[in-house]
Structure 1
Amino acid sequence: MKKLLIFIALGSLLYSCGSKDKGELVGVKGKKWYPEKPYGMTLIPGGSFIMGKSDDDFAQVKNAPTKTVTVRSFYMDETEITNSEYRQFVEWVKDSIVRTKLAIFADELGEVPGNGGIGEFAFKDADTTNLSEYDKYMLDNYAGLGETGYEGRALNKEIDLEWNTSDYPDAYYSEIMDSMYIPLEESYNGVRTIDVKKLQFQYSWMDIQAAARAKKGNRKDFVRTEKIEIYPDTTVWIKDFAYSYNEPMHNDYFWHDAFSDYPVVGINWKQAKAFCNWRTKYKNDDQKRRKRHNVNQFRLPTEAEWEYAARGGLESATYPWGGPYILNDRGCFLANFKPQRGDYAADQALYTVEAKSYEPNDYNLYNMAGNVSEWTNSSFDPNSYEYVSTMNPNAYDDSNRRKVIRGGSWKDVAYFLQVSTRDYEYQDSARSYIGFRTVQDYLGTDAVSTK
């Protein structure tokens, strides 16, 4: 016992001698945090505003009574997510699935890098000579846990994939690539395309709301796993409009470069959530390589955040530009919508327009009215304004499949463009007139609006 006391005292003495805090309570010092504005986003300073319809509710819906609420600061995409940006997500998923299939096949065949062919795409831990002690530990103790038995093993992304059939390195590679395409009997005109049903993105998240309210349960009980087909439903251009010829939009809108900067549509609510999760992972993977702090998650805005941002700091305005008029002083329309019955093109656009069109509002946000309606993270309840909190209000109910959409679209009349108008769609539905934009929480409390 005496030796133990001497050891503790000696340890305390050594620690005190090496300490730089002089025995004061200075707190744990971490890396200096410098807020970084996310690419393509703008900062929306937190503040209070009157949410709901402050002018006449001509439709007599009565689901948006006025209520003063306060929201915290957040970043928001300046534009709707474009076809080009969503294609980056699709390409990443496609690339990852092919590499995973190649790595698993190489493992089953016992092929390793250096032998050429499919072995070059083996898991990075296939050659154990260059593994760190940590990687060896993780491989020995955690590899094999999961649905496929290959979870947790790193893919080799240093070797480029070959998509030209004449450049396939061996028959095994050809077999894997062939499995990604539609069957020959489903192709026509000699063209085989990727089977988009195989483009699935799997991710996990923790249901913090449920965990916080639960009286008991382990952490793992609140971890949710989602597996989502992420390719847009291009058939919406036909299904949304009976007795109408819209095949060119079905054929070209998502993938053709002519529409790269147009808002992506045909995305349901779950796919939009999956995109947010991927965007967070994609950014944090890069942050890890640079040895920087992880960023906050990208997510869909709440209904209150969306309305606050759409108003652009203007109190009780009808539209993002103020209002109540939809024409400027030169007689030009201020948004992309359906100005007159049967006349979609009076505003110089038949369908959607490029995401950075018309003038932005005072928060530098484009098309917060018109172009495409936008998914929010809030569930739709016509009475929710009566009971939601006045601080960061959000009516989220996982069992309610109706999700709020805001902003109106290219096929809507002006009423739906008003910043206070509420609408909804079912979470598993995709439409030719619904897109989305993402937000990210601001770390800190400096950015507060005094308007």
Structure 2
Amino acid sequence: MKKLLLSSIAFVFLLTSCGSKTKGELVGVQGNKWYPEKPYGMELIPRGSFIMGKSEEDQAKVLNAPTKTVTVRSFYMDDTEITNSEYRQFVEWVKDSITRTKLAILADELGIGPEEGGIGEYAFKDADTTRASVYDKYMLDNYSGMGETGYEGRALNKDEELIWDTSEYPDEYYAEVMDSLYIPEEESYNGQRSVDVTKLKYKYSWMDIEAAARAAKKGKGSRKDFIRHEELEIYPDTTVWIRDFEYSYNEPMHNDYFWHDAYSEYPVVGISWQQAKAFCNWRTKFKNDDQKSRGKQFVNQFRLPTEAEWEYAARGGIEGGTYPWGGPYVISDTGCFMANFKPQRGDYAADAALYTVEAKSYEPNDFNLYNMAGNVSEWTNSSYDPSAYDYVSTMNPNGGDQSNTRKVIRGGSWKDVAYFLQVSTRDYEYADSARSYIGFRTVQDYMGEEDSTQ
């Protein structure tokens, strides 16, 4: 009997081996082929080495950018600064999500489901058990009540369009939720009642990989110790147009710049470093939600560029150039200004622009990037240290000290003199600050090109 059993096992093993697609060879795990798409609105910056720092005269004598040869990996970069229109997409998404969450929670508290109509049509998806997946039911049974509110992780119903016209509200419960999103009646004027932007908060989590790696080397800490949770208001600070300039009439910019369609293609300003980081997280999530819905592999994260990446991209492959266009002058041979800045003392309009200009203005550099000098200064991921160039790595250098709240800004802006437009000039602002002259653009690590034969 024992011999018969062993023979059966051997026969099954033989059949399994014969039927194996690998034929017993080490072929690796067979996954799907990776055919990445070029990110929309971005340009590929090829890997390379360059001399980072002030190879020309350091007129300001700040001595914070000595020359250093460094190498950066390939990455994609937005061809323009993030515009008001693009950032409004983020704001609208957050407003939509918060509204749907409030509607779903109230429907749950009232015990109203989709079949009852009204606010019930916006109930959590798992409330309709006939449509809930096995996984939804499992999560509801095992994780319900966990988290700060007890509703974390439950799927929102995004199939139903939100109703913003007060005359079409489906019931009083819906009206109650919508009313809670707006500023109080006593704070409105001229018959206009706006959404309370302080309620537009974005929550996200991220893993502090650097801290985790250092702790792992010492054998300390567990994964949960390095998960950071963030929650912050994401609406731009429009008051910067007033606060940045004492005794100056900039009220029209405060009132109109972010929301009016006339400024849609202008760079967003009034954004802190933390808000720029939140936007990067949302952009990654927004893209990967779509990837998931189409059964495609996730893309890697969008992020702020390091200081080295920014300078390398700004140079456009021109060695030793003072500005993104290479030459040492800010006026072309035809007498036109090459960027939006303050060319003369107090004469902001000499370059034909008083404040910002549209993101696709002036000629792009040789990497096809617009306004890498002037228009708005741009946040980078790097922390500012005057002596950073003395100790950062020569490979993908980055001064990313989390405890240092001074963050590097680059490129100069519409209110700066030409010195700050130079590709090697370093400046900084505090991470929680927002200014009328600071914006940002994002990057994404390069992981291959799309297969043109597919």
Please indicate the TM-score interval, normalised by the length of the shorter structure: over 0.9
Asked if 1:290 corresponds to 2:294, the answer is yes
- Quick one: distance in 2 between partners of 1:329 and 1:88? 40
Q: Quick one: which of 442, 446, 450 aligns to 1:442?
A: 446
1:29-428 paired onto structure 2 within 5 Å = 29-214=30-215, 215=218, 216-428=220-432
Contact 1:373 1:407 in 2 (8 A): yes
Higher deviation after alignment, 144-153 or 2-11 = 2-11
- Quick one: distance in 2 between partners of 1:90 and 1:10? 63
Identity among equivalent pairs (%): 80
Could you list the per-position Cα deviations for residues 325-363 of structure 1 after superposition, in whole angstroms to 9, with x for gaps in the alignment?
A: 101111000000000000000000000000000000000
Could you list the per-position Cα deviations for residues 348-401 of structure 1 after superposition, in whole angstroms to 9, with x for gaps in the alignment?
A: 000000000000000000000000000000000000000000000000111100
User: Aligned in 2, Cα 1:245/1:107: closer, same or farther, shift over 3 Å?
Assistant: same
Q: Match of 2:29?
A: 28
SS of the residue corresponding to residue 285 of structure 2 reads helix
User: Aligned in 2, Cα 1:11/1:262: closer, same or farther, shift over 3 Å?
Assistant: farther
Residue 17 of structure 1 deviates from its aligned partner by 2.6
Contact 1:73 1:445 in 2 (8 A): no
User: Aligned in 2, Cα 1:304/1:11: closer, same or farther, shift over 3 Å?
Assistant: farther
Kindly provide the amino acid, as one letter, of the partner of residue 178 in structure 1.
Answer: D
User: Aligned in 2, Cα 1:312/1:27: closer, same or farther, shift over 3 Å?
Assistant: same
- Quick one: distance in 2 between partners of 1:110 and 1:307? 56
Could you list the per-position Cα deviations for residues 53-73 of structure 1 after superposition, in whole angstroms to 9, with x for gaps in the alignment?
A: 000001101000000000000
- Quick one: distance in 2 between partners of 1:358 and 1:4? 81
Residue 4 of structure 1 deviates from its aligned partner by 8.7
Kindly provide the amino acid, as one letter, of the partner of residue 212 in structure 1.
Answer: A
SS of the residue corresponding to residue 129 of structure 1 reads coil
Contact 2:38 2:449 in 1 (8 A): no
Contact 2:35 2:449 in 1 (8 A): no
User: Aligned in 2, Cα 1:445/1:279: closer, same or farther, shift over 3 Å?
Assistant: closer
Kindly provide the amino acid, as one letter, of the partner of residue 158 in structure 1.
Answer: D
Kindly provide the amino acid, as one letter, of the partner of residue 394 in structure 1.
Answer: N
Contact 2:36 2:449 in 1 (8 A): no
Q: Which runs of 5+ in 2 are unaligned?
A: none
Could you list the per-position Cα deviations for residues 68-122 of structure 1 after superposition, in whole angstroms to 9, with x for gaps in the alignment?
A: 0000000000000000000000000000000000000000000000211100000
Residue 13 of structure 1 deviates from its aligned partner by 3.0
RMSD of the alignment, in Å?
A: 1.5
Higher deviation after alignment, 143-152 or 81-90 = 143-152
User: Aligned in 2, Cα 1:282/1:11: closer, same or farther, shift over 3 Å?
Assistant: farther
What is the aligned residue count?
446
- Quick one: distance in 1 between partners of 2:431 and 2:420? 19
TM-score of the aligned structures, taking structure 1 as reference length? 0.97
Q: Which runs of 5+ in 1 are unaligned?
A: 447-451
Residue 135 of structure 1 deviates from its aligned partner by 2.2
User: Aligned in 2, Cα 1:313/1:13: closer, same or farther, shift over 3 Å?
Assistant: same
- Quick one: distance in 2 between partners of 1:189 and 1:99? 29
Residue 129 of structure 1 deviates from its aligned partner by 1.8
Kindly provide the amino acid, as one letter, of the partner of residue 294 in structure 2.
Answer: R
